[in-house]
Amino acid sequence: MSSGLYKTSKIAFLALAISLAANAASAQNAAAVVKERQEIMKSLFPLLRGASQVAKGESTDVASIPAKTQEAVAAVQKFASLFPTGSGRENVPDTRATPAVWTEKAAFDAAIAKLVAETQKLGDVAKTGNVDAVKTQWTAASEACGGCHGGPSKSGGKFRFEAQ
């Protein structure tokens, strides 16, 4: 009788240990996913810098733009896949993704689609070699960032907490 009880509690203890380990593993995954999405976000402006320089009249090199916008589009599409449940501030204090990413998913997806479309179009326009058209489309593409957050890197917005 008492050894049966001992076995039962030992099994319960093992089950608890396993579930704690699983939680720790998923918290670790959530932290990795946050890091990946932050790295992608940090890469966007550098990828679009060439287009920004054309827009500011500092360069006329439109030929190098399409390859960069293609990379940016792929990065944004990957970014959109990096929001598993449990990767908000409840598990990862470092993330600046607001709960609205999950509760207003349709609006978040629309902001992703808009950024993808405008960035794609920036590359298409650059292929024509028309500098003025690149300038106009640069404005549309950079405004699409504003669908989720303000421009300055510390600024907040609908889907990004302001940095402390």
Residues within the interface to ligand HEC (CB under 6 A):
34, 37-38, 41-42, 44-45, 95-97, 101, 108, 111-112, 115, 144-145, 147-149, 153, 159-160
Terminal alpha carbon distance of the chain: 58
Residue owning tokens 């501030």? 89
Looking at the DSSP assignment, which residues form a beta bridge with residue 160?
97
Residue owning tokens 């509760």? 103
CB 93 within 8 A of CB 85: no
Q: How far is the CB of 7 from ligand HEC (least distance, A)?
A: 45
Q: How far is the CB of 34 from ligand HEC (least distance, A)?
A: 5
The closest alpha carbon to 104, from 121, 88, 117, belongs to 88
Smaller CB distance to ligand HEC: residue 10 or 42?
Answer: 42
Q: How far is the CB of 77 from ligand HEC (least distance, A)?
A: 11
Smaller CB distance to ligand HEC: residue 75 or 133?
Answer: 75
Smaller CB distance to ligand HEC: residue 54 or 159?
Answer: 159
What gap in Å lies between CA 49 and CA 60, rounded to an integer? 12
